Chains A and B, each alone.
Chain A
């Protein structure tokens, strides 16, 4: 993680609030009110809101390392989503309600953290609607310690705001990309440490060349996730499909490999409930699927690419880097 004046205090806050015990408690159905209160009073919720209306006036590229930290610490609440939702609401001149907000880009598939959200910002395909979660009848998926839910009821417009031209999905997907990058960094660290400590055949398993090479590839994926997420969040809230697709296609594809390698080096203890690895790897898989997996975004990107006669390098320069 980059340690600067923004990330350092934020990282400390998350480390103290979201201990693995606290994460387990929220996942087990415990109250999240106290944790949310602390996050809300920290002032970070309005990081993206303009200074003139009481926010910190940062842009998405500035907060990308914060989103990574949220993934790194396996925060069991929709914190990044709330930061983005509050920015969109403020832009539309709407005062954001208190409480965690999820971004809903599908009424047919699970929304991560929907079971611990007070509100949902829903993309109906025509507009964005802010609705109270209680009125949307969220149905838990029912997997062990999962916080995802499918929104069962189509919201009725109470508070509505204009829909970005490509909808909410590019933005939501790119937030997931940054969360994946953060969890990937944590898993790479945990796996490296474990391999230096765990002794088999009379030496740390990290001295086995096959293990070293697996971890080296994991580090490559971790860096690719970080940089792809940074690409995704480099263009602001009005996000072009091409940058979102690059971010989410790259991170979703890497997520399964990173989770697999982390579990492979940890052995059986890695899949036990009491060991922290699962807090990260379960999220990695959840985020990979949410808001479009690698196949969805690769198809979006490929369609745009094939419609243009430029060379590959020119095309990525014009549509992703400029």
Chain B
């Protein structure tokens, strides 16, 4: 079962990127406090993304002719791993670099590729992903936002919600209904590029329990889109989204969301000179190493040109379980030493990760959806 999902190695030619990206991070983000770093890929900094673009760290998987670097998924893994390990603010370019540009390359027209991809590689065109709606979360095929073809292209009406970073982004790639009815489910869905500055688009941030507002509601009121807003074929949106989700779910961001907290806890244990939790630290380290190898193994399937939907679901489900387990273990340890001083910054970071951790297994497909995908891949149903 899943016979090709086996240990793979990062090529040394891609490992060579590590010192350069480290140097860039060291010079750009030293002043960020721990609990901000713990925002991981939720931290938004347009300037930092442009710096990454300028110095050649965006579009690593993309062809040179569109401003990319022709390096492939392993190179992206190395760079992303360093960014996450440092808690660098990568949200601005994240979705565009990870999935929108690969989507455009697979399904877009030549004109779309030339218009969007080079700007993505420079960190200048920021994308958000419009999937969930008020009545459509895990049941994504029930989306009701509709784009009707008219003489000038598409007339868009409806609403998206829980769209990460819509308030700061330039474009949304939205999954909408372009034909048929909601009863026809996956049939009749398409992906459209929406310029978020277009008349009729309203974006409202939603404040979350940590005080952040990366989630947004986005309303479309008779938004006129040009004909070339369509990505790929009309009615093929579901298949395109499924392929896109393999990119979204397979990366190291699905195992490293709590890594800043883990490192801070290890430093705390070292500072107070405790080894009573060596077994817990060791168990977490073994799991971290195994997950890293699983994520690299999944990346190897991308490199082989496959769309590892099931493998990515396996990594994400297990990875987010690890990310969520960490604050629980660390909280218990700190709380079980009531007479040991804790730096406020560490405590604040623990609380931030603890409070936001439920989102880890919601964003990008819930745990229950992923387990359904894995079960189908095993031949159940």
Q: Which residues of A contact B (CB under 8 A)?
A: 1-3, 185, 188-189, 192, 195-196, 206-207, 209, 211-213, 215-217, 219-220, 222-224, 226-228, 230-231, 234, 245-246, 249-250, 253, 294-295, 297-303, 305-306, 309, 311-316, 320-321
Using A219-B374, A220-B317, A223-B5 as known contacts, say yes or no to A302 and B277 having CB atoms under 8 A apart. yes
Measured between beta carbons, the chain A residues less than 8 angstroms from B6 are 2, 226-227, 230
- B5 — nearest CB in chain A belongs to which residue? A223
A222 partner, pick from B1, B263, B292, B377, beta carbons under 8 A: B1
CA of A226 to CA of B375, assembled, Å: 19
How close is A236's CB to chain B, nearest CB, in angstroms? 15
CA of A196 to CA of B85, assembled, Å: 42
CA of A219 to CA of B285, assembled, Å: 21
Measured between beta carbons, the chain A residues less than 8 angstroms from B201 are none
- B275 — nearest CB in chain A belongs to which residue? A306
Q: Is B380 an interface residue (CB 8 A)?
A: yes
Measured between beta carbons, the chain B residues less than 8 angstroms from A316 are 285, 288-289, 292
Please state if A249 and B286 are interface contacts (CB–CB under 8 Å): yes
- A322 — nearest CB in chain B belongs to which residue? B15
Please state if B2 and A219 are interface contacts (CB–CB under 8 Å): yes
Q: Is B371 an interface residue (CB 8 A)?
A: yes
Q: List 7 A-B contacts (CB under 8 A).
A: A188-B1, A224-B290, A245-B286, A250-B287, A298-B283, A311-B85, A313-B259
Please state if A231 and B279 are interface contacts (CB–CB under 8 Å): no
How close is B379's CB to chain A, nearest CB, in angstroms? 6
CA of A320 to CA of B379, assembled, Å: 34
The 10 closest A-B pairs by CB, nearest first: A302-B282, A302-B278, A301-B282, A298-B282, A212-B375, A230-B7, A216-B374, A302-B281, A216-B371, A249-B286
Please state if B283 and A223 are interface contacts (CB–CB under 8 Å): no
Using A228-B290, A230-B7 as known contacts, say yes or no to A215 and B259 having CB atoms under 8 A apart. no
How close is B316's CB to chain A, nearest CB, in angstroms? 10
How close is B5's CB to chain A, nearest CB, in angstroms? 6
Please state if B282 and A245 are interface contacts (CB–CB under 8 Å): yes
Please state if B85 and A223 are interface contacts (CB–CB under 8 Å): no
B283 partner, pick from A196, A217, A294, beta carbons under 8 A: A294
CA of A315 to CA of B290, assembled, Å: 13
Please state if A230 and B282 are interface contacts (CB–CB under 8 Å): no
Interface bits B252-272 vs A (CB < 8 Å: 1, else 0): 000010010011001101100
- B18 — nearest CB in chain A belongs to which residue? A317
Q: Which of B269, B281, B291 has the most CB of A within 10 A?
A: B281
Please state if B7 and A215 are interface contacts (CB–CB under 8 Å): no
Q: Is B81 an interface residue (CB 8 A)?
A: yes
Q: Which of B262, B280, B317, B378 has the most CB of A within 10 A?
A: B378
Please state if A212 and B380 are interface contacts (CB–CB under 8 Å): yes
- B280 — nearest CB in chain A belongs to which residue? A302
Q: Is B372 an interface residue (CB 8 A)?
A: yes
CA of A249 to CA of B289, assembled, Å: 11
Please state if A195 and B380 are interface contacts (CB–CB under 8 Å): yes
Q: What count of chain B residues pass the 8 Å CB interface test? A: 50
- A221 — nearest CB in chain B belongs to which residue? B318
Measured between beta carbons, the chain A residues less than 8 angstroms from B371 are 212-213, 216-217
How close is B276's CB to chain A, nearest CB, in angstroms? 10
Q: Which of B2, B5, B263, B278 has the most CB of A within 10 A?
A: B278
Please state if A209 and B372 are interface contacts (CB–CB under 8 Å): yes
Measured between beta carbons, the chain A residues less than 8 angstroms from B379 are 192, 196
Using A2-B6, A309-B270 as known contacts, say yes or no to A223 and B372 having CB atoms under 8 A apart. no
Measured between beta carbons, the chain B residues less than 8 angstroms from A211 are 380
Please state if B266 and A306 are interface contacts (CB–CB under 8 Å): yes
A2 partner, pick from B3, B290, B377, beta carbons under 8 A: B3
Measured between beta carbons, the chain B residues less than 8 angstroms from A253 are 283
CA of A220 to CA of B1, assembled, Å: 11
Please state if B1 and A185 are interface contacts (CB–CB under 8 Å): yes
How close is B378's CB to chain A, nearest CB, in angstroms? 5
Please state if A250 and B290 are interface contacts (CB–CB under 8 Å): yes
Using A3-B3, A223-B2 as known contacts, say yes or no to A215 and B269 having CB atoms under 8 A apart. no
- A192 — nearest CB in chain B belongs to which residue? B378
CA of A311 to CA of B269, assembled, Å: 13
Measured between beta carbons, the chain B residues less than 8 angstroms from A209 are 368, 372
Q: Is B246 an interface residue (CB 8 A)?
A: no
A223 partner, pick from B81, B266, B314, B380, beta carbons under 8 A: B314
Measured between beta carbons, the chain B residues less than 8 angstroms from A189 are 1
Given contact pairs A206-B381, A213-B372, A228-B290, a sample of 9 additional A-B residue pairs in the complex whose CB atoms are under 8 Å apart: A1-B3, A188-B378, A192-B1, A217-B317, A227-B294, A231-B7, A303-B275, A306-B278, A313-B259
Using A185-B1, A224-B294, A305-B285 as known contacts, say yes or no to A219 and B262 having CB atoms under 8 A apart. no
Using A224-B318, A226-B6, A312-B266 as known contacts, say yes or no to A249 and B380 having CB atoms under 8 A apart. no
Please state if A213 and B380 are interface contacts (CB–CB under 8 Å): no
Measured between beta carbons, the chain A residues less than 8 angstroms from B283 are 249, 253, 294, 298, 301-302
Please state if B288 and A298 are interface contacts (CB–CB under 8 Å): no
A220 partner, pick from B81, B277, B285, B314, beta carbons under 8 A: B314
